[in-house]
Amino acid sequence: MPDSRLPRDGAPDSSFALWREGYNFIPRRCRRHGTDAFRTRLMLKEASCVQGADWAEMFYDGDRFTRRGGLPLSALTLLQDVGSVMTLDGAAHRHRKGLFLDILGPEAAYRLAQVARAEWERRLPDWESLRAVTLFDEMRELLFHAVCDWAGVPLGPEAPQRLYEVAEMVEASARVGPNNWRTHLLRARTEHWARQIIREARAGHSMPKGTALESIAQHRDEKGRRLPARIAAVELINVIRPTVAVARYIVFSALALHRRPEMVERLRTGDEAFAEAFAQEVRRLTPFIPMIGGRALRDFEWKDFHFSKGDWVLIDLFGTDRDPRLWDDPDGFRPERFLDRIPGPYDLIPQGAGDHATTHRCPGEWIAQELTKMGAQMLASLDYQVPSQDLSVDLSRIPAIPRSGFLIGQVRQATA
């Protein structure tokens, strides 16, 4: 049971409010109660919702929480699946996390961004020949091909179907009912495909050296056993699917450039520090994963609060990234804030907090940052029109995206 000193949010069950309010659910209630943490009931279960850097440290530091039982099963099985790194704890988690940090670190992210840049240049003539393209669709397709190429994953004529499946896993993760079940069927097909790739790689048919595919196919667990093909396949999907999801950050970059056209010029000058800061600010403000849930692994005290084994705690990533105590003008798009500030482990947390190696913090942060930077620089290198369309972002929809998907027309390479 959550600590009774935390204020209780009124309703007997707040699931409907969470569904209706989406990203604003926790921030609104924290403001209402004048606190960083409150108790509520979600899906008929007691939960504590928390936000801010202190609570992020409590949630991520010290091995206090497991992700098992922390996310609704319907979301977990679309985003990670049973047996994946996210569902592991302790030594087994650290060992498997080492695999991800080996294959997704800064150098690998840089190489992937180079592949994506080349893919962008290859596709540009097509965009130029069309009246308009939907950036969200184009970016998902581009990133899918780039990540498969970089990871050593062969693609055949089934590529459009596989792309559709991985994109749907992200879009349907917060849906309930038939839409979510349908996506589980799609996921089963992707897993079948990924298992085939792992088996063929292990049989020596196609395993390009030094690739993510090779590392995953050959990985051994902390006891020296090779991963079952089913788990290796899940981890391969855990590299492909979230890389495709970075398309969202590129769309939000386009939205920011549309609203702040003076930033296009600054990106065009080749100012690397500004491009880095721009991508950080896009990651801070994009409404993507609103919160992460965990179950307490044991009883513990933190500050004046008591938590019991099994307690369900949800940390508000979206609200912490817009916390006015951490960020001046928290809702303003101001990349300059990152020019003289290196984010700490618990303030900029769109992809989790703490130490990558020992917590569940996302190992794909370097990739997300590099690809967002690449996307912003490449967008700035173009001239295009933004036709009239609905660019509103509905914060009750998780994950959020401008309604139109961001149409661009009359695309041309900008002249110097």
Residue 22 found at the interface with ligand HEM (CB under 6 A): no
Residue 368 found at the interface with ligand HEM (CB under 6 A): yes
Total number of residues that touch ligand HEM (CB under 6 A):
25
Residue 29 found at the interface with ligand HEM (CB under 6 A): no
DSSP one-letter string for 25-79: HHHHHHHHHTSSEEEEEETTEEEEEE-SHHHHHHHHGGG-EESTTTS-HHHHHHH
Among 29, 39, 64, 67, binds ligand HEM (CB under 6 A): 67
- What amino acid is encoded at 239 in this protein? V
Nearer to ligand HEM, 97 or 219 (CB): 97
Nearer to ligand HEM, 104 or 142 (CB): 104
Among 166, 186, 285, 289, binds ligand HEM (CB under 6 A): 289
Question: Regarding beta strands 382-385 and 37-42, do their DSSP bridges make them parallel or antiparallel, or are they unpaired?
Answer: unpaired
Place of tokens 């409590």: 58
Residue 239 found at the interface with ligand HEM (CB under 6 A): yes
Residue 75 found at the interface with ligand HEM (CB under 6 A): no
Nearer to ligand HEM, 105 or 208 (CB): 105
Tell me the β-bridge partners of 313.
48, 294
Among 364, 375, 402, 405, binds ligand HEM (CB under 6 A): 364
Residue 245 found at the interface with ligand HEM (CB under 6 A): yes
Residue 287 found at the interface with ligand HEM (CB under 6 A): no
At 414 the three-state DSSP class reads coil
Residue 48 found at the interface with ligand HEM (CB under 6 A): no
Residue 241 C-beta: closest distance to ligand HEM, Å: 8
Element (H, E) at 180: helix 178-202
Residue 86 found at the interface with ligand HEM (CB under 6 A): yes
Nearer to ligand HEM, 191 or 271 (CB): 191
Orientation angle between helical segments 159-171 and 135-151, nearest 10 degrees: 110
- Cα–Cα distance, 187 to 199 (Å, whole number): 18
CB 406 within 8 A of CB 255: yes
Nearer to ligand HEM, 275 or 362 (CB): 362
Token pair recorded at residue 190:
């992707």
Residue 363 found at the interface with ligand HEM (CB under 6 A): yes
Q: What value, to the nearest 5°, has the Cα angle with vertex 126 and ends 124 and 130?
A: 115
Does the annotation place 30 within a ligand binding site? no
Tell me the β-bridge partners of 98.
none
Among 66, 74, 77, 243, binds ligand HEM (CB under 6 A): 243
CB 22 within 8 A of CB 397: yes
- Cα–Cα distance, 263 to 411 (Å, whole number): 18
Would you tell me which residues interact with ligand HEM (CB under 6 A)?
67, 85-86, 97, 100, 104, 238-239, 242-243, 245-246, 288-289, 292, 350-352, 360-364, 367-368
- Binding positions for heme: 362
